[in-house]
Chains A and B, each alone.
Chain A
Amino acid sequence: MASVLELSNITKRFPGVLANDHINLRLEKGEILALLGENGAGKTTLMNILYGLYSPDEGKIKVSGNEINISNPRDAIDNGIGMVHQHFMLVPVLTVTENVMLGNEFTKSGVFLDKQKAAQKIREISDQFHLNIDPDAIIEDLPVGLQQRVEIIKILFRNAEILIMDEPSAVLTPQEVDELFKIMRNLVDQGKSIIFITHKLKEVMECADRIMVIRAGKVVGEATPVTADTKKLAAMMVGRPVELKVQKEKSDPGEIILEVKDLTVLDKGKKIVVNNVSFDVRNGEILGIAGVQGNGQTELVCSLTGILKAESGQVSILGKNVTTSNPRQITELGVAHVPEDRQDDGLILPFPVHDNLVLNTYYLPPFSKGALIQPELVKSNARELVKDFDIRTPGITAITGGLSGGNQQKVIVAREFSRPIKLLIASQPTRGLDVGSIEYIHRRMVEKRDEGTAILLVSTELDEIMQLSDRIAVMYRGEIIAIVDADMVTKEELGLLMAGVKTEISGKKRKPRQVREIVT
């Protein structure tokens, strides 16, 4: 029998880049194929070709043995190919049924929407695959995990046989990820086929039937979870052996650098998003703030760095009250900030790399004399940092927006870490990055800690929090519901806390800290 999907010799060139280089791919009915690769390896380009967003320069696509031509998403859908995007394409104020129908409406006598019929079909799909979705629920009331299921229903509704899932776990809690894997298993058991795009080794090992590794536009290897191990896969992805363990000694905390007392922050709509939060960070330690995205971490960091004004409470850095200080005053105290959204808040993408490397120091000597910028010194600074921090760029005058995500992040890290700093506030420092860059940034952070910097790490990646932190605070609905020693808590317990379930911490640690493995 023919494979359900077969890609042969797919090649796609962008100016100056060979994004896909003669890629061959087979997907059998009823299997989960994991497409593993670093960012920029060409996974997404390949899937966009399959979904009709790009057209390939060379190559053929066969569905169930028949060669087809896909020139837009509509063709893809007609051929039974559906895509769950990383960022959901849902209208928050509409119901599940309305969202699912959108673009594919059932009608009564040609003009009136037939919501009943659509809702009925949704219910059937939901029951068949155990998705547990109420067609009449409003999207914005649903948790992220369920919204994702609505996306899945949306493509099943259009009779998809092949599901492409682009980094589906990025936005989920560990428990939700487990649920998702169960659903994926359900889908393939009933004859659907799934291509699962990810750069997370652990997930691949957990749920894939077959693994294909892509690097620099080429297929560099295939494996099954039984035959492969994470170390080998990581090396395949990156192209060199990767150190998967964060080497770090026990911390030796000193004086308090950052002290937060009863801090309350409102968002634009005057809703309380950070509720009466208190904690402190000492020099030489990493305090991790764990939590599912959207539980107030963003606003907490914004208010610590002076971007958002606090409603009440007090923030002190090095004993100085900075509750009402502006970002520049806070930076000048020796605070570094790696913002959550590197492209929106951390960098000016159209600027050359050398300007982004002085984005918060351009006005200080030696980079300027009076009001005159000293271009030579800005550039020599950039040359140095590009070398020290291994930023892969065509040159220091290259436009920052043209760099890969990992290298953009390295620009920020280089800028923030190269100053003498007392406190580092890092928000999602490795989000969306590949194994190589994550390894690098983690190592630099531990180095900074050992130099005596106090570090506040905010991350939704539980593994990252567990590997790096000395103490862990869990944020849920704007409150810090627990602060625990990293040694004293298991991943499962943290997962429950992140979901708002207050549990007793058993105090048992899983394994010795130094050898806890990065699973990215």
Chain B
Amino acid sequence: MEENLKNQNQNFIKIFLEELSRNSLVFIFLAIFTGLVIGGILAAATTESIYQAFDVSFSEGVKASFELIWSTYSSLFQGSFGKPNEMAASLFSGDKDEVLGAFRPFLESLVTTIPYLFSGVAIALGFKAGVFNIGAEGQLYMGAIMAAWAGFTFKGLPPIVHVPLALGVGFMAGAVWGFIPGFLKAKTGAHEVINTIMMNYIAFNLTTFLVTGPFQDPNESFKTPVIEESAKLYRFFDPPMRFNIGFFIAIAAAVIIWYILYKTTWGFEFRAVGLNPNASRYAGINATLVTILAMSISGALSGLGGATMMLGVTFRQTQSLSTGYGFDSIAVALLANNHPLAVILTAMLFGFMRHGSRLMQLQTGIPIDIISILQGLIIFFLAAPAIIRTLYRLKEPKNEFEGVLTSVEHREGARMNGN
């Protein structure tokens, strides 16, 4: 029995690794590495003290640049994981509060990862089915505001009912926001990129309207009431720790979507339509339905992401939920080559960078925007594989059909150009 269980466990890990290695892990690693190098150079180039050091002498300048880059990335690391020596010491001391204190940056980074994870999986699912969901941001907004509504409206429910209800409302709100562009694409051919962008604007402005109007807290303007205690997601530690069960819901969502995509007939249909809608139609698959479903589920996942932010972290909707999560998640999905399990890792990369960047700015004065530049560079290198390949003398993979960000047409074009 035990043997069996162990085998199964190993099997799962094996599958996980296999799935990952298919996405040319080395390649992604090199893209990230190159991004960090160039990001470092940019950070140095935009800092005045570096120029002053170069005025003294060239070697001074180089030294100062390396020091700056080192401190930038080490504070980024400390901000996202914690201070390694403190973490180790706290583990030895065994004091619970000390451990939590030392690991707080790490746990907070996981909290930041949650929306990336939901929206990343949502967008990856869309790509797999051949739709480009740029509307994750708006879907996230709708999920959040509607979850807030469910959270403060229903009173006296036990948490076991209230939490799923509020999450479900957020899920549905996102689904509706995805369904509309999906339906329009399938039935009229209207391009989903345009329509999801439009839906984003509607979501932003609708949220503003709701927060300043129907959903406004009677005692405080431009905010919704705080949600009921019974609607809050379970938090594992006392405040100020915000690490909550939402993280595990997000992981579960990624695994479930992976399972559906690769193990079920629905997933087969999704992937078939995503890769070749014509052949899918010829094979009797209802491509119209798949498009609508894919957009709806994609929207629903993003909505769920918004709902977990609301119920697990913010507890009330203010006029600006901030974010940009939905847009960054396009990069999260692409970086993972649209593989739901790989999204778990790339979402963490983004979550950790985003959370760590605050400390980085505080300690080194390097603006938080450098993180956006870093992310941009990484995506850039992934989108232009030839650069990385030339830089590191990598051989072209034998079969590129699932290559990062490249489609069949692109490659044939490249070959025609005498590649």
Contact = CB atoms under 8 A, between A and B. Distances in A.
A324 interface: no
Nearest to B282: A345
Contacts of B265: 362-363, 368, 371-373
A401 B264 contact: no
A254 interface: no
A344 interface: yes
A372 B266 CA distance: 9
Contacts of B282: 305, 307, 327, 337, 339, 345-346
Contacts of A371: 264-266
B283 A360 contact: yes
Contacts of A368: 264-265
B399 interface: yes
Contact of B418 (A72, A348, A359, A363): A72
Contacts of B280: 348
Contacts of A15: 395-396, 398
A391 to B, nearest CB: 17
Contact of B275 (A345, A350, A372): A350
A55 B418 contact: yes
Interface in B63-116: none
A52 interface: yes
Interface string B367-399: 000000000000000000000000000011011
Nearest to A341: B278
B281 A327 contact: yes
Contacts of A328: 284-286
Interface in A297-341: 305, 307, 326-328, 331-332, 337, 339
A351 B284 contact: no
Contact of B408 (A337, A345, A360, A401): A401
B140 to A, nearest CB: 28
A194 interface: no
A368 B263 CA distance: 10
Nearest to B262: A373
A144 interface: no
Contacts of B283: 327, 331, 359-360
A54 interface: yes
B295 interface: no
A327 B284 contact: yes
B276 interface: yes
A345 B284 contact: no
A90 to B, nearest CB: 17
Contacts of A372: 263-265
B13 interface: no
B264 A349 contact: no
Contacts of B266: 371
B416 interface: yes
Given A327-B282, A359-B283, A360-B283, A16 B264 contact: no
Interface string B290-331: 000000000000000000000000000000000000000000
A355 interface: yes
A507 interface: no
Given A307-B281, A399-B401, A402-B399, A349 B276 contact: yes
B279 interface: yes
A363 B281 CA distance: 14
A13 to B, nearest CB: 12
Q: Which 10 A-B pairs have the closest CB atoms?
A: A328-B284, A350-B401, A360-B283, A359-B283, A327-B284, A348-B276, A363-B265, A371-B264, A345-B282, A348-B275
26 contacts: A15-B398, A53-B418, A326-B284, A327-B282, A328-B285, A331-B283, A331-B284, A337-B282, A339-B282, A344-B276, A347-B279, A349-B276, A349-B401, A350-B401, A351-B271, A351-B272, A355-B268, A359-B272, A360-B284, A362-B265, A368-B264, A371-B264, A372-B265, A373-B268, A401-B401, A402-B399
Interface of A: 15-16, 52-55, 71-72, 305, 307, 326-328, 331-332, 337, 339, 344-351, 355, 359-360, 362-363, 368, 371-373, 375, 399, 401-402
Given A15-B396, A363-B268, 19 more contacts: A15-B398, A53-B418, A54-B418, A71-B418, A307-B282, A332-B284, A346-B282, A347-B276, A348-B275, A348-B279, A349-B401, A349-B408, A351-B275, A355-B268, A359-B279, A359-B283, A362-B265, A371-B266, A373-B264
